[in-house]
Structure 1
């Protein structure tokens, strides 16, 4: 699976994420957030070696229950999950290496 490019306006239920099997990255942010836009090339670069990881981008904001359930305070926040359990979290990642390191905790990198 490839990285999602747009933030979904409608969020899944928390129970859906908590019962998801396999590797999953939930990204919270908005299209207008400068930090979110700056992180996109880094996220894309890191995901190149992790094509099997499901990536969900959720538009977040005040009063949005999913972001609050994950205690998101700054954007972008990436939550790395494996079999419904949070394994790692990055807030405003600054380089692709730290994203790759977190991805490696939930997925084997592709050979190449």
Structure 2
């Protein structure tokens, strides 16, 4: 239990400072830019992907083991994100097709 106790040292202060700054940087840069570019739906879709990215980066840079369950979960999340994005793209295509019909003079029932 003594190893979990926070001591007033430069290590604890640097960890808290880096956590605070990394969260602020992520929120300010990536999420706000994504909301402005595509809307809040896209930001919400990619939120679970951050877990996969963290697992892969820890395996690459920190040497952690990447287990089969993590890899299968990453594939499932990627497939779900692809399916949602494909559905959004098809919906936008249909909306664009409907709008072009209104401009050409066709009647809407």
Verify same fold: TM over 0.5: no
More helix by share: 2
TM-score band, normalised by shorter chain: under 0.3
**Structure (1 or 2) with the greater strand fraction:** 1
TM-score normalized by the length of structure 1: 0.24
| CA radius of gyration, larger in | 2
Identify the structure with bigger relative contact order (alpha carbons < 8 Å, sequence gap 6+).
1
TM-score (norm: length of structure 2): 0.25
